[in-house]
Amino acid sequence: MAQQLARESIANGAEESAAVEPSATRRSREFVEEDEVEGPPVSSDCERRLAELATWCRDLEASPRCALPPSPEDCARLGAMLRGIWAASDALGPSGLQRNSPAQRRFQEVLGRFFWQSPIIHRCFAKPRGYAGDFLMMDDVYRNLPKGETVLGRWMDRWVLEQPGFVAVRNRREKLISLLREEWRNGARHAMNVASGSASELADVIETNPFQGVTLLDQDQGALFAATTALGRRMDPAHVRTWSGSVFTLIRGKTTLVPGDQDVIYSIGLYDYLSPRFATALTARLWLNLAPGGLMAIGNFNGHDPMRRFIEAAMDWYLIYRDAPDMLALSAGLPDVEGAEVWTDPTGCLHLLLVRKRGAAGSRLTSVCG
Ligand SMILES: C[S@@+](CC[C@H](N)C(=O)[O-])C[C@H]1O[C@@H](n2cnc3c(N)ncnc32)[C@H](O)[C@@H]1O
């Protein structure tokens, strides 16, 4: 129940922060009042494992191997110690590590100072734009170039960038690029990206596959600025439409989008924050905008992501996970569905729901769900 409330509040928090400058939102770490700690006390076994990992981190920090890329042995050892901590924290069940639990707090107290030397881990934890997973952090995951002011920080950055969840994010971007190219080759000319971030995948395809119209939606004006700047160098800026606001406004029908004017509509990195009710409502709303024969793609992590407990513990980052049947359920009530399928990235962490709309143009767009 507490987990569900936490998840809902993430969704509502995104809604609340939509109207204000992200850097001024009250959800960033500096301003958030500490919630009460709930849950069973930390076991002595868990305390022992936390201390053991702290010792291991200190040894690594002092070792010449810290200046080298993480070795398979170190990665295996770190992974095994983390799994031991999740087991001793009762975090291996479907609800993961409880937010604000003594186990989460102790993890951060004992180990935060090591992991947070990685800029990417610290950014996810600190949420400087008021929400987790902002576009600058996503761009860092895509660039995959470790940073850090300390040797241990760079080691941790490099280690985390190779964790399956972040590899999956890069795989998803590649898949989207190939889908956009394929749709363009088959005649698609208008694309809409919902919760676009910096839309770097579009910037990558636009020169070789010049979409005539691009529509970007995001609550973060900084993300839209980054996206339009990058796209504006490669296409006529007059053909880039932006819509700054929360998708909750869309769901409530308080904004107008032209029905059926998009050949491709996609959203990645957003549904992981939407409860089933909002996710279903948003899918139905977006579907109205898809042209006959068009393709909709929706991304979501599934609960089998081995990085899940780590992002909960070290980054205080909680997602709503969906398995393939949950993804397919999002398209279940839509009219005029020609076909729906779920693509899973090679790490197995992430799904993309691909839904093709039936219609006159369907015959030119048969490569997915055909
Ligand atoms: C994880 S990033 C994903 C960005 C991009 N789609 C990508 O995959 O690189 C999440 C994006 O969703 C946006 N976002 C989060 N909640 C939103 C909401 N309720 N309405 C609109 N945008 C939202 C954020 O501003 C952020 O740019």
Q: Output the CA 318–ligand 1 centroid distance in Å.
A: 15
Residue identifier of the C-alpha nearest atom 18 of ligand 1: 246
pLDDT of residue 201: 96
Atom 11 of ligand 1: nearest residue by CA position: 195
d(C-alpha 316, C-alpha 347), whole Å: 23
Look at residue 19 in the predicted model and tell me its pLDDT. Answer: 29
Q: Which residue, by CA, sits nearest to atom 6 of ligand 1?
A: 196
- CA proximity to 31, closest of 11, 44, 45, 17: 17
What pLDDT is stored for residue 143 in this prediction? 97
Q: Which residues contact 53 (CB under 8 A, 6 or more apart)?
A: 78, 81, 82, 85, 110, 111
Domains and CATH numbers, the chain: 18-162 (no CATH), 166-364 (3.40.50.150)
Sign of CA dihedral 199, 201, 207, 213: negative
User: What is the 270 CA–ligand 1 centroid distance (Å)?
Assistant: 5
Q: What is the pTM for the complete model shown?
A: 0.88
Mean pLDDT by 10 residues, the chain (370 residues): 29 33 36 63 96 98 98 98 96 92 96 98 96 94 97 98 97 98 96 97 95 96 96 91 92 80 97 96 96 98 92 96 97 96 97 94 46
Atom of ligand 1 nearest to the CA of 132: 1
Atom of ligand 1 nearest to the CA of 22: 25
Distance in Å, CA 109 to ligand 1 centroid:
29
Q: Which residues pair with 343 in a beta bridge?
A: 352
Distance 138 CA to ligand 1 centre (A): 10
Backbone φ and ψ for 350, nearest 5 degrees, come out as -130, 145
Half-sphere exposure in the Cβ direction for 244 (13 Å, CA): 16
Write the residue with the smallest CA distance to atom 16 of ligand 1.
14
Nearest atom of ligand 1 to the alpha carbon of 272: 1
Calculate how far, in angstroms, residue 197's C-alpha sits from the geometric centre of ligand 1. Answer: 6
- Of 270, 286, 317, the one to substitute when testing ligand 1's pocket (max ligand atoms within 8 A of C-beta) is 270
Atom number of ligand 1 nearest to Cα 201: 9
Distance, CA 56 to ligand 1 centroid (Å)? Answer: 36
Burial 71-96 (b: 16+ CB within 10 A, else e): eeebeeebeebbbbbbebbbbeeeeb
| Nearest atom within ligand 1 for CA of residue 200 | 9
Ligand 1 center to 169 CA (angstroms): 14
Q: Which residues contact 164 (CB under 8 A, 6 or more apart)?
A: 305, 306, 307, 347, 348, 349
Calculate the CA dihedral of residues 167, 171, 174, 176 and round it to 10 degrees: -130
Residues 7 and 105 sit within 8 Å (Cβ to Cβ): no
Residue 305: what pLDDT?
85
Write phi, then psi, for 215 (nearest 5 degrees): -115, 125
What's the chain look like in SS3? CHHHHHHHHHHHHHHHHHHCCHHHCCCCCCCCCCCCCCCCCCCHHHHHHHHHHHHHHHHHHHCHHHHCCCCHHHHHHHHHHHHHHHHHCCCCCCCCCCCCCHHHHHHHHHHHHHHCCCHHHHHHHHCCCCCCCCHHHHHHHHHCCCCCCCHHHHHHHHHHHCCHHHHHHHHHHHHHHHHHHHHHHCCCCEEEEECCCCCHHHHHHCCCCCCCEEEEEECCHHHHHHHHHHHHCCCCHHHEEEEECCHHHHHCCCCCCCCCCEEEEEECCCHHHCCHHHHHHHHHHHHHHEEEEEEEEEEEECCCCCCHHHHHHHHCCCCCCCCHHHHHHHCCCCCCEEEEEEEECCCCCEEEEEEEECCHHHHHCCCCCC
Q: Which two tokens stand for residue 134?
A: 């902002």
Which amino acid residue places its CA nearest to atom 19 of ligand 1? Answer: 246
Quote the ligand 1 centre to 301 CA distance (angstroms).
14
Whose tokens are 């799994």? That residue is 83
pLDDT of residue 39: 79
CA separation for the pair 299, 288 (Å, rounded): 19
Q: What is the sign, positive or negative, of the torsion defined by CA atoms of 20, 23, 24, 27?
A: positive
Q: How far apart are the CA of 20 and the centre of ligand 1, in A?
A: 15
pLDDT, residue 24, reads 29
Residues with CB under 6 A from ligand 1: 14-15, 133-135, 138, 195-197, 218-220, 223, 246-248, 268-270, 273
Note whether 15 and 131 are within 8 A (CB).
no
The residue whose CA has the least distance to atom 10 of ligand 1 is 269
Compute and round to an integer the Cα radius of gyration of the chain: 21
> What's the CA-to-centroid distance between 139 and ligand 1, angstroms?
12
